[in-house]
């Protein structure tokens, strides 16, 4: 009897992680043997330590960069970008550790730089090979779990596309079923009506049933599920979530003995929150170190051109809607530091000449890196609005308060897409909110790095 191999997707992902890290270590050791044989033979302990630290950093960095996030179905260019970020984090970590422990002179810079170039190149070529060559073999020889789909609508088609794009899931869709009156129409051909599905599952040893039917037809769902009770198939129910416009979550939680679908949750829970905080501390600390002399000159300029304090503190809404005081360089002759204030316009007479220069170049925002160090803000996130502005807009812009499930940011996805400065209409605010929600739905360290780089680029090339 011809039996196919069955490998769990989790096992395959773990193997892929091991192969990726092993490839990096192999490249590093091979380059040492080729480019620096004397060091390779005379310092085996140091080389072994370098390999071990590189492996540990790689396991963390590849996870942070999201290399294995839907990797089988993701765009190849996007995946290679994640790999580049991950390798950059690995070697950045090596440099920091080498400097901290004063051992950087022991290791060959030429070898490490060469490995930094070759490692991502090899991994990207491996991805190309898998997609072009191995996937067909895998489907034929390893994808042993047979599945059927109940429902030929958009959800059923989406499932079919996902299975085709993700051969490593080890699933083959054998047939589609739908209600007798609707049929599959222009979609996938039906193998029968829903009443025929349980018998088909038993006769063909189907292991998985994907139920992609509308929730409104409860009677039909109950009949189908009762029929499947006499089978051993695993059943996955895909409810239509399109009614939840701003879905943030999708996990399953168990509360009071009941199963709940998490529709909204912060992307910065658990390990993600720790990673985000480390990112904020490292980036803000480095930037403050570099710009502190420049900030001193700005403070002197403010003192010399107008009366009043250097810093301006204003109440804003932060994480979970809690108010906090944001720090800015003072750019106005007046000091409106309460909950209520009059928003500044492009030609506001309250703004000083030096303040106009600071605002035009966003230099008044620099003290907010102190907010980041204190923990009330992040480098990247939804920009904080004044308390009064929040109270006004939350009443008539749907999803406005979703932005407060994360800390506010110095820069954000809305800002790098052109939505910054004066808010002139509700439509302008709606665009900003849509970008804020998109950021929260798709957050990753890679996205943060892109936003930071785009912010620097827009600042450097400001007209």
What is the number of alpha carbons within 13 Å of residue 243 lying toward its C-beta? 5
- C-alpha distance from residue 348 to each of 52, 75, 164, 333 (Å): 59, 47, 58, 11
Q: How far apart are CA 42 and CA 55, in angstroms?
A: 22
Class at the top of the CATH hierarchy for domain 143-240: alpha beta
pLDDT at 360: 81
The domains of the chain are located at: 9-140, 143-240, 271-460
Instruction: Tell me the pLDDT tens digit for each residue of 136-188.
Output: 555 555 556 789 999 888 888 888 888 877 666 668 889 999 876 555 655 56
**First vs last C-alpha separation in the chain:** 72
Q: Across the 463 residues of the chain, what is the mean pLDDT of every consecutive 10-residue run? A: 48 79 92 83 85 91 78 65 88 85 82 91 86 60 75 83 72 84 61 89 90 80 87 82 61 64 75 86 90 92 87 86 88 66 66 84 88 93 84 82 88 87 79 89 86 82 51
- C-alpha distance from residue 219 to each of 79, 215, 216, 243 (Å): 43, 10, 9, 21
Q: How far apart are CA 192 and CA 158, in angstroms?
A: 20
Instruction: Tell me the pLDDT tens digit for each residue of 282-335.
Output: 889 989 999 999 999 999 998 888 888 888 888 888 888 788 999 988 888 766
pLDDT at 319: 86
Among 27, 200, 40, residue whose Cα is nearest residue 116: 27
Determine the Cα angle at 86 with ends 40 and 120, to 5°.
Answer: 60
State both tokens at 24.
């990096």
pLDDT at 73: 47
Listed in order, strand segments (DSSP E) in 90-170 are: 145-150
Which residues touch 89 (CB under 8 Å, ≥6 apart)?
57, 61, 64, 65
């Amino acid at each position: 009897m011809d039996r196919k191999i069955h490998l769990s997707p989790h096992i395959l992902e773990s193997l892929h992680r091991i192969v990726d890290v092993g490839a990096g270590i192999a490249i590093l050791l091979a380059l040492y043997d080729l480019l620096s044989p004397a060091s390779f033979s005379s310092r085996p302990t140091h080389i072994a330590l370098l390999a071990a630290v590189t492996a540990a950093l790689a396991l963390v960095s590849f996870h942070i960069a999201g290399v294995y996030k839907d990797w089988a179905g993701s765009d190849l260019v996007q995946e290679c970008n994640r790999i580049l970020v991950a390798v950059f984090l690995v070697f950045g970590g090596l440099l920091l550790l080498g400097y901290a422990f004063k051992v950087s002179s022991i290791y060959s810079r030429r070898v490490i730089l060469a490995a930094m170039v070759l490692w991502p190149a090899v991994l990207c070529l491996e991805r190309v090979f898998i997609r072009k060559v191995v996937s067909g073999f895998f489907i034929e020889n390893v994808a042993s779990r047979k599945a059927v789909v109940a429902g030929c609508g958009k959800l059923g088609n989406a499932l079919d596309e996902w299975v085709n794009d993700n051969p490593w899931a080890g699933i083959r869709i054998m047939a589609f079923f739908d209600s007798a009156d609707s049929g599959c129409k222009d979609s996938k051909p039906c193998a029968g009506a829903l009443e025929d599905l349980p018998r088909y599952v038993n006769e063909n040893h189907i292991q998985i049933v994907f139920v992609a039917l509308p929730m409104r037809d409860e009677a039909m769902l109950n009949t189908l599920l009762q029929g499947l009770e006499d089978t051993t198939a695993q059943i996955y129910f895909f409810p239509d979530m399109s009614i939840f416009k701003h879905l943030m979550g999708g996990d399953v939680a168990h509360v009071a003995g009941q199963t709940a679908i998490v529709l909204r949750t912060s992307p910065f829970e658990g390990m993600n929150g720790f990673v985000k905080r480390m990112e904020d501390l490292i980036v803000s600390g480095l930037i403050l170190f570099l710009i502190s002399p420049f900030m001193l000159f700005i403070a002197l300029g403010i003192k010399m051109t107008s009366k009043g304090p250097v810093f301006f503190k204003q109440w804003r809404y932060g994480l979970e809607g809690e108010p906090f005081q944001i720090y800015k360089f003072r750019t106005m002759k007046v000091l409106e530091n309460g909950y209520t204030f009059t928003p500044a316009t492009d030609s506001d007479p309250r703004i000083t000449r030096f303040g106009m220069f600071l605002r035009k170049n966003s230099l008044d925002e620099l003290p907010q890196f102190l907010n980041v160090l204190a923990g009330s803000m992040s480098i990247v996130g939804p920009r904080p609005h004044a308390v009064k502005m929040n109270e006004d807009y939350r009443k008539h812009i749907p999803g406005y308060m979703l932005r407060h499930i994360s800390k506010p940011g110095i820069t954000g996805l809305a800002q790098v897409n052109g939505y910054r400065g004066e808010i002139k209409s509700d439509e302008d605010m709606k665009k900003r909110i849509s970008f804020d929600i998109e950021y929260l739905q798709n957050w990753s360290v890679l996205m943060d790095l892109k936003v930071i780089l785009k912010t620097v680029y827009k600042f450097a090339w400001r007209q």
